[in-house]
Amino acid sequence: RAASMGYKTAFLEPDPHAPAAQVSERVGFGFAEADLEALAARCDVITVEFENVPPEALAFLEARVPVRPAGELFRVSRHRALEKHALAALGLPTAPYRVLAPGDDVAGVLGAVGGRGILKTAELGYDGKGQRRVASEAELAAALAELNVPCVLEGYVDFVRELSIQVARNPSGELAFSGLVENLHAGGILRRSVYPAAASEETELAARQYARTLAEAWRLEGLLTLELFELEDGSLRVNEIAPRVHNSGHLTQDGGGASQFEMQLRAALDLPLADFAPQLPCVMVNILGWPEDQPEPAWEEIVRLPGARLHLYGKAHRPGRKLGHVNVVGKTRAEVLEGAARVEAVLGVRL
Ligand code: ATP
Ligand code: MG
Ligand code: MG
């Protein structure tokens, strides 16, 4: 995106054949000081779209060149306990939670979060990896012993739907919001995102307010995604935060507004911002690696479907791995939901 906006870019990446190399200069392969030095020397501003860049690497870069969003946001959001504490400090509601370490006495802990919960590794989890559902103290003790790393136990949230919203903020302090997106997960993995969400206007306003609170309190310089649970009564709980572009934001690529990728750049570059809700209803369907005993999906059937836009990432196939997505755009929510069901039929998705 940056290249098409006229910017010269450079990146760090271990794979010499990374797709970005077609439009950008790969100046190093990792986080060794020489690589970081080479990157800093070439850049006026650095942006990040991956949580697990080592914090020391971000600190090294920040001493040399503006890094947007700041390393501090990644340090907090990559660690579930720090993330939950930070949300609580700002008065944003989350599931009840307890921080646990291997060997901790779990007596009474599950009861304190509501009797049923999800134990999550504090760091490095994604797509529901490193999570165990627990419904008894014995299950909790066993899950903690099995995961064997610092964890956060969250009370189970009986949500009616999952939502996400994005906010961009530039160093001048301008803010811009995405639309409210509805997300469907299966097995901890995002399968489908729908815009607009079937939530009320009040719920959307509350989501925006939470996003605004975070962006302003953290003096965000970049883009941030907020994952939310909506309860029966319309109130929200924050699930997690990602200070970067997000899978649920991919539908901004084809919905007719600015994409989340452009917004992250605009914010990091201190360009003027404007709200970036898609102009058309849109559904994003994730393409996960198919089981080894099944054939590759019939891509041509997908590109023939009206309103369907196929995005394949060119990654090596592995069952369950996110390999691409399809955005289906149309005039009404009903139309794009029907289109998404057709895409899912071709992909063999059963939810
Ligand atoms: P990613 O970063 O890819 O979104 P993750 O591994 O960080 O995933 P979470 O977002 O914590 O995982 O959880 C994945 C999904 O599991 C959620 O989107 C939701 O569907 C379900 N889930 C997580 N926490 C809870 C909870 N406390 N109560 C009920 N469901 C939950
Ligand atoms: Mg996560
Ligand atoms: Mg999540």
Report if residue 82 sits inside a domain: no
Separation of CA 85 and ligand 3 centre (Å): 17
Neighbours of ion ligand 3 (CB under 5 A): 227, 240
**Cα 88 off chain centre by:** 20
Residues 212 and 331 in one domain: yes
Report yes or no on 286 lying in a domain. yes
Return the ligand 1 atom nearest residue 242 CA: 2
Tokens at residue 102, please?
Answer: 């291997």
Are residues 173 and 313 located together in one domain of the fold? yes
pLDDT in tens, the chain (351 residues): 898 899 999 998 888 888 788 888 888 888 899 999 999 999 999 999 888 888 999 999 999 999 999 999 999 999 999 999 999 999 999 999 999 999 999 999 999 999 999 999 999 988 889 999 999 999 999 999 999 999 999 999 999 999 999 999 999 999 999 999 999 999 889 999 999 999 999 999 999 999 999 999 999 999 999 999 999 999 999 999 999 999 999 999 999 899 999 999 999 999 999 999 999 999 999 999 999 999 999 999 999 999 999 999 988 999 999 999 999 999 999 999 999 999 999 999 987
Same domain as 222, residue 134: no
| Cα separation values, 93 from 16, 81, 123, 155, Å | 43, 14, 21, 13
Per-residue DSSP letter, 306: T
Determine, yes or no, domain membership for 86.
Answer: no
Retrieve residue 190's tokens.
């995002």
Same domain, yes or no: 233 and 340:
yes
Q: Which of 190, 239, 288 to mutate to test the pocket of ligand 1 (most atoms within 8 A of CB)?
A: 239
Strands 10-12 and 25-28 turn out to be parallel
DSSP code, position 3: G
Q: Is the CB of 73 under 6 A from ligand 1?
A: no
Distance 346 CA to ligand 2 centre (A): 28
238 lines ligand 1 (CB under 6 A): no
Tell me, yes or no, whether 88 lies in a domain.
Answer: no
Token pair belonging to 272: 């003027």
Q: What is the CATH number of the domain that holds 314?
A: 3.30.470.20
- Letter for the amino acid at 111? G
Residue type, 180: L
Could you tell me if 141 and 260 lie in one domain?
no
Residues 168 and 247 in one domain: yes
User: What would the two tokens of residue 334 be?
Assistant: 């009903």
Judge whether 85 lies within some domain: no
How far apart CA 90 and CA 182 sit, in angstroms, is: 24
Residues 169 and 282 placed together within one structural domain of the fold: yes
Any ligand 1 atom below 6 A from CB of 154: yes
Q: What is the pLDDT of residues 284-296, one digit of tens each?
A: 999 999 999 999 9
Ligand 1, atom 14, lies closest to the CA of: 188
284 and 174, same structural domain? Answer: yes
Does the pTM surpass 0.90? The reply is: yes
Find, among 232, 249, 229, the residue nearest to 118 by Cα.
229
* Count of structural domains within the chain: 3
- Give yes or no for residue 95 CB within 6 A of ligand 1: yes
Q: State yes or no: ipTM above 0.90.
A: yes
Give the domain-ending residue among 155, 179, 201: 155
C-beta 152 within 6 A of ligand 1: no
Specify whether 246 is located in the same domain as 272.
Answer: yes
Instruction: Kindly state if the Cβ of 127 falls inside 6 Å of ligand 1.
Output: yes
53 and 119 fall within a common domain: no
In whole angstroms, give the CA distance from residue 101 to residue 147: 10
Ligand 3 centre from 88 Cα, in Å?
Answer: 18
Strands 308-312 and 189-195: unpaired
Provide the residue range defining the domain that includes 40.
Answer: 3-76
- Is residue 147 domain-shared with residue 171, that is, in the same domain? no
Distance from residue 8's CA to the centre of ligand 3 (Å): 32
Q: Is residue 83 part of a domain?
A: no
Query: What's the CA-to-centroid distance between 109 and ligand 2, angstroms?
Result: 23
- Binding-site residue numbers for ATP are 80, 120, 125-131, 154-157, 162, 185, 239-240
